[in-house]
Structure 1
Amino acid sequence: MPIDMSSWQGRTDPEDGDLGLRWHQKIQPADQANEEGIMLLGFACDEGVSRNKGRTGAYGAPVAIRKALANLAWHHTGPVYDGGDIGCNDGNLELAQHRLGEDVSKALRQRHKVIVFGGGHEVAWGTFQGIGSYLVQKQYVASPEDDSSLNEQTAEPAPNVGIINFDAHFDLRNPPAGQQSEMGSSGTPFHQAARFCQLQGWPFKYACLGLSRTGNTQALYAKADSLGVLYKDDTELTHQQIEQTVTELQHFIDLCDYLYLTIDLDVFPATVAPGVSAPAARGVPFDIVELLLEPILAAKNQKGESKILVADLAEYNPRFDIDNQTARLAARLAWTIARAIR
């Protein structure tokens, strides 16, 4: 099925030549990918927010973010591809997350960096499944004596995958009692990621920045403490305390082999990001988030490559946006991330 590229439209300045290009003039459909670059994927889904008793509308986010990104100036090197959308149209969230995971894993195996446009924050469990699948395959190296033998494989050490989540909520909820453990919502993705790591024998490394204490129960804080989560409330993310926070964040990054960056747009004040599923009464100012993104985007592995494998943006809800304000914010974040990871 051809990838719909109709969202990629905008201004052209032919008189400026290659220096006047914008995203809509550079983006390519994924079926034309012939060298490693950045793969954009969409996750059009409301089901997780609905299950979590939130206000729906995030289904339309991937298209809206593309439209806001299309007209931004091109300041990048290397190709960017659009891999299309995974849609959840039948309430089968688990299948949609699995399909997203397959697309993320495939893109990583093709040596792309990946940016996913959600959707509710249930996108995170789909994204993490893809990272997990990719690293599980990478962890096991075939024996040189018989590279076709699954019985003679040797395992590399468990990877340290650092999840860094800018969010007003932990999203560590347990699935409701009486339901199967895989029945998640937009409130459960990092519980599911923790369970995955436990089953694989991997360490669970999770940092959550920008929490609203009014929106997270004592049970969630206790669970975060038991899992060793690095977390900061929105009231702690101030210019006065930024140096200490950056130091703690840098220590977290240094202990990680890979990073998964996820940004729930409800971490920002409602005046900055009105178009989200759960608007923040306080939130974290954009300039503080930018300062915290710097060490994350600058993190490199021993090969000099970005530690970030995948970044995603969650909870944008076009239904409640004002003058595309939140779409512009999401596009600016995607632009910044793309420029850093390649």
Structure 2
Amino acid sequence: MYRKPNKKNWTGRDDMLIDGELGARWHQKVERINLEEVDKLPRLLGTSKGFTILGFCSDEGVRRNQGRVGAVEGPVQMRVHLSNLPWHFGNNTILVDGGDVFCLAKFLEEAQNFLGEKVFKILYSGYKSILIGGGHEIAWGHYLGVKKFLQTQYSRKLGIINFDAHFDMRENPQKQSTSGTSFLQIAQDRKASNEEFSYFVLGVQKVSNTPKLFQTAHDWGVEYITSEKMDFMFIQDIYKQLSAFIEKQDFLYVSVCLDVFSASYAPGVSALNGLGIYPTIVTDLIRFIAQTGKVLAFDIAELSPKHDTDDRTARLASNLVFTYIDACVNETTQR
């Protein structure tokens, strides 16, 4: 159920021989830590910022949700493209690969609980969690870890921001977790704990959600911006809505489902999108959100390498992770 990080996943070009530190890339900076020995996470001192990448190798939730499987291989392929990214974060940033949690056979719920335990240890050590998937069932497991961490905090208002073509608030008759149920599970858990459910979806599509799903979102007070409004001509309105949402939160959990993008940018996903949005507005908004300093947890879901073309989706996913870390490291006041 847990696989420690593999050095073979981190290889790439070596420009440091000529350019020194200015030529560094991620594979030369990442530290590989066995999260079964969490006390080995490097201590964060002073203004240091730490990020731990953790893979979730699962597409059992996609299978249950009747999607096309293949996302189980997403974490390995994403590291291929993370490895060769240039290092722009100086010596005050610590990047850790914490390995992978994987789903054995059909034991998804057990894998999600195990994922939550690993996320809690990451957050409790002062690091931000970056999860790479894997189906969007990653969100329930990620939330479980965030929830446990928030129980150690005095203020714990949590806002959830999801870039997604879907609400992922589907009811499951078998009461099982799927890639389409995570945020309804979170809503129900927040209600059971007398905690507010604050959920904002960007890029949701009418063509991808039934009237029942829109009704469910309405009943739970979900805020959303539809895909046709996810355009730079509306950017000031988007900033305004996001700012109002973020201002009410102590912490943020941000999730990106790669099926929010047009198929021309992200063909390697579990549910192909013919009318998706452009990557540039998402990178802009990730930067906008991360620079508030409130993001604890970030994940990328639904990378399905066997359906990808020229690794377009994997490259896009790695660029989103880069954007997020860059914004956190170069944190400024919100616009």
Cα distance in 2 between the residues matched to 1:108 and 1:2 = 18
Cα distance in 2 between the residues matched to 1:18 and 1:184 = 45
Q: 1:80 aligns with which of 95, 107, 132?
A: 95
Cα distance in 1 between the residues matched to 2:31 and 2:121 = 17
How far does residue 245 in structure 1 lie from its aligned partner after superposition? 1.6
Cα distance in 2 between the residues matched to 1:17 and 1:197 = 49
| Aligned partner letter, 1:4 | N
The answer as to whether partners of 2:119 and 2:142 remain within 8 angstroms in 1 is yes
How far does residue 190 in structure 1 lie from its aligned partner after superposition? 0.2
Distance 1:240 1:339, change over 3 A: closer
Does residue 96 of structure 1 match 2:96? Answer: no
Q: 2:306 aligns with which of 314, 319, 322?
A: 319
Q: CA offsets per residue over residues 99-139 of structure 1, 9 Å max, x none?
A: 11000001000000110001000000000000001112x14
Cα distance in 1 between the residues matched to 2:80 and 2:43 = 25
Instruction: Count residues in correspondence.
Output: 314
| Aligned partner letter, 2:12 | G
The answer as to whether partners of 1:30 and 1:39 remain within 8 angstroms in 2 is no
Does residue 274 of structure 1 match 2:289? Answer: no
Cα distance in 2 between the residues matched to 1:315 and 1:326 = 10
Matches within 5 A, 1:4-19: 4-13=6-15, 14-19=17-22
Q: 1:29 aligns with which of 18, 28, 32?
A: 32
Give the secondary-structure state (helix, strand or coil) at the position aligned to 1:79: strand
Does residue 339 of structure 1 match 2:326? Answer: yes
| Aligned partner letter, 1:340 | A
Q: Which residue in the other structure is 1:227 paired with?
A: 220
| Aligned partner letter, 1:314 | A
Give the secondary-structure state (helix, strand or coil) at the position aligned to 1:165: strand
Cα distance in 2 between the residues matched to 1:3 and 1:263 = 23
Q: CA offsets per residue over residues 177-230 of structure 1, 9 Å max, x none?
A: xx23xx110000000111111111110000000012111011111111111111
Structure 2 length-normalised TM: 0.91
Does residue 310 of structure 1 match 2:303? Answer: no
Give the secondary-structure state (helix, strand or coil) at the position aligned to 2:233: coil
Structure 1 unaligned residues grouped into runs of 5+: 140-155, 300-305
Percent of matched pairs sharing the same residue? 42
Structure 1 length-normalised TM: 0.89
The answer as to whether partners of 2:32 and 2:98 remain within 8 angstroms in 1 is yes
Cα distance in 2 between the residues matched to 1:278 and 1:2 = 29
Cα distance in 2 between the residues matched to 1:194 and 1:285 = 29
Cα distance in 2 between the residues matched to 1:90 and 1:194 = 27
The answer as to whether partners of 1:250 and 1:295 remain within 8 angstroms in 2 is no
The answer as to whether partners of 2:287 and 2:323 remain within 8 angstroms in 1 is no
The answer as to whether partners of 1:113 and 1:341 remain within 8 angstroms in 2 is no
| Aligned partner letter, 1:321 | D
Q: Which residue in the other structure is 2:37 paired with?
A: none
How far does residue 89 in structure 1 lie from its aligned partner after superposition? 2.4
Cα distance in 1 between the residues matched to 2:4 and 2:219 = 46
Does residue 330 of structure 1 match 2:317? Answer: yes
Does residue 133 of structure 1 match 2:125? Answer: no
Cα distance in 1 between the residues matched to 2:286 and 2:296 = 15
Cα distance in 1 between the residues matched to 2:246 and 2:273 = 27
Cα distance in 2 between the residues matched to 1:223 and 1:2 = 39
Structure 2 unaligned residues grouped into runs of 5+: 35-39, 45-49, 330-335
The answer as to whether partners of 1:264 and 1:315 remain within 8 angstroms in 2 is yes
Query: Which has more radius of gyration?
Result: 1
Matches within 5 A, 1:29-68: 29-31=32-34, 33-36=41-44, 37-68=50-81
Matches within 5 A, 1:182-221: 183-221=176-214
Cα distance in 1 between the residues matched to 2:106 and 2:164 = 25
Cα distance in 2 between the residues matched to 1:197 and 1:213 = 26
Give the secondary-structure state (helix, strand or coil) at the position aligned to 1:202: coil
| Aligned partner letter, 1:184 | S
Cα distance in 1 between the residues matched to 2:321 and 2:287 = 14
| Aligned partner letter, 1:255 | K
Cα distance in 2 between the residues matched to 1:267 and 1:229 = 17
Cα distance in 2 between the residues matched to 1:336 and 1:2 = 26
Does residue 106 of structure 1 match 2:114? Answer: no
| Aligned partner letter, 2:319 | R
How far does residue 2 in structure 1 lie from its aligned partner after superposition? 4.6
Q: Which residue in the other structure is 1:165 paired with?
A: 162
The CA RMSD over aligned residues, in Å, is: 1.2
